């Protein structure tokens, strides 16, 4: 593979993809993967899933659903490397090499870990109650995901920026001790990308239980959209698009022309029911064909498995020689 700029991101396999994830992450990633000047790496972070999820069926099912989602939405696997983390054994191997240069104090500062400690202290529990080593040290695993492929650009949500800083810190320490082996990765947080509000108007998030799943059948999708919270303004009353969740969702799917027309319709007093109907039609039109492809893939897991196997093979063409170099660098070498 040529040495273009490398873009890499991972998706933790613990659930079913929500609509917000599609507009906020998947759609822009698939679009970016078509650019000629980058090499893209997208992977299913199933080792990360184990940190949060102890239900084996759910991890497996989520892996299938997320892989099928990316494929159904048009990821071109001949242009980007699409693989499952656990198919690349060099990643956990690198995790250990990195663990040995990672300051414990750095991990102490991780937001996710600190949040658990704070919650425990508040509940007058032992500070580390319920904290596994997986939760504590997963920023190192994430650093290995990135550094394994010397990815330069890492598109992530804001909540992951700290992990990228940690990955840079770990890479620097390793480079300092063993030579310039790693590029320093950078988080790419796209401020323009839509964060969808959920059905209650707050940010769409699993923790608020306000998400709309991406692959609802048509009728259920319509129903979910009809449930998005609005205020009690009557038809004919001018409405403010910028404070309406339905408008934000509409804007995320609409062309600039459609968006402008909807703004005008708000000023003219369009009824909430009508906005929702138009929103449903817009989303449904975009998802109808991919939804059929998705259903076909879900009922043919062997096909998805084959894509992932090919992806892992391509990933390992890079990770195998690189891990050999890294082992050599740290002194894990043949004798004589």
67 in contact with ligand TRP (CB under 6 A)? no
Cα separation, 43 vs 232, in Å, equals: 44
Q: How far is the CB of 68 from ligand TRP (least distance, A)?
A: 18
For 153, phi and psi rounded to 5 degrees? -115, 130
63 in contact with ligand TRP (CB under 6 A)? no
Cα separation, 177 vs 98, in Å, equals: 11
Cα separation, 153 vs 303, in Å, equals: 30
Contact 277, 246 (CB under 8 A): no
45 in contact with ligand TRP (CB under 6 A)? yes
> Which CB atom, from 154 or from 270, has the smaller least distance to ligand TRP?
154
Q: How far is the CB of 312 from ligand TRP (least distance, A)?
A: 16
Applying CB under 6 A, the span of 154-162, 236-244, 246-254, 291-299 interacting with ligand TRP comes to 154-162
Token reading at 176 = 């300092």
62 in contact with ligand TRP (CB under 6 A)? no
Q: How far is the CB of 11 from ligand TRP (least distance, A)?
A: 6
Q: How far is the CB of 245 from ligand TRP (least distance, A)?
A: 23
Residue 164, Cβ neighbours under 10 Å: how many?
21
Cα separation, 54 vs 232, in Å, equals: 43
Cα separation, 7 vs 153, in Å, equals: 5
User: What DSSP line would sit under 180-193, residue for residue?
Assistant: S--PPPEEE--SSS
Site string for ligand TRP, 132-151 (x = CB under 6 A): ----------x--xx-----
40 in contact with ligand TRP (CB under 6 A)? no
Using the rule CB under 6 A, which residue among 10, 15, 24, 197 binds ligand TRP? 10
Secondary structure of residue 214 in the 3-state scheme: coil
Q: 156 to 195, contacts with ligand TRP by CB under 6 A?
A: 156, 160
Contacts with ligand TRP by CB under 6 A lie at 8-10, 12, 45, 48, 142, 145-146, 154, 156, 160
């Amino acid at each position: 593979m040529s040495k273009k700029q490398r873009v890499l991101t991972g998706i933790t396999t613990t659930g079913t993809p929500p609509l917000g994830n599609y507009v906020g992450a998947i759609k822009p990633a698939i679009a970016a993967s078509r650019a000629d000047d980058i090499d893209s790496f997208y992977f299913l972070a199933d080792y990360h899933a184990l940190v949060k999820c102890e239900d084996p069926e759910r991890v497996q099912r989520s892996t299938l659903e997320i892989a099928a989602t990316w494929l159904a939405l048009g990821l071109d696997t001949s242009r980007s490397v699409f693989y499952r983390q656990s198919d690349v054994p060099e990643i956990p191997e690198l995790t250990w090499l990195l663990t040995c240069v990672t300051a414990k104090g750095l991990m102490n500062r991780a937001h996710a870990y600190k949040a658990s400690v704070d919650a425990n202290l508040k509940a007058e529990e032992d500070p580390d109650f319920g904290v596994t080593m997986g939760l504590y040290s997963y920023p190192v695993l994430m650093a290995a995901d990135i550094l394994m492929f010397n990815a330069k650009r890492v598109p992530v949500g804001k909540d992951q920026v700290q992990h990228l800083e940690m990955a840079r810190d770990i890479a620097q320490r390793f480079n300092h001790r063993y030579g310039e082996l790693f590029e320093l990765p950078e988080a790419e947080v796209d401020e323009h990308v839509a964060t969808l509000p959920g059905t209650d108007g707050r940010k769409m998030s699993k923790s608020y239980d306000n998400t709309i799943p991406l692959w609802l059948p048509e009728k259920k999708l319509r129903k979910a959209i009809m449930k998005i919270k609005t205020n009690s303004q009557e038809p004919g009353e001018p409405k403010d698009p910028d404070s309406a969740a339905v408008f934000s969702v509409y804007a995320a799917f609409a062309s600039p022309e459609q968006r402008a027309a909807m703004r005008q319709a708000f000023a003219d007093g369009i009824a909430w029911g009508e906005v929702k109907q138009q929103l449903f039609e817009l989303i449904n039109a975009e998802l109808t064909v991919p939804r059929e492809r998705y259903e076909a893939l879900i009922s043919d897991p062997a096909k998805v498995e084959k894509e992932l196997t090919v992806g892992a093979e391509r990933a390992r063409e890079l990770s195998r020689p690189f891990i050999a170099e890294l082992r050599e660098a740290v002194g894990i070498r043949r004798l004589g």
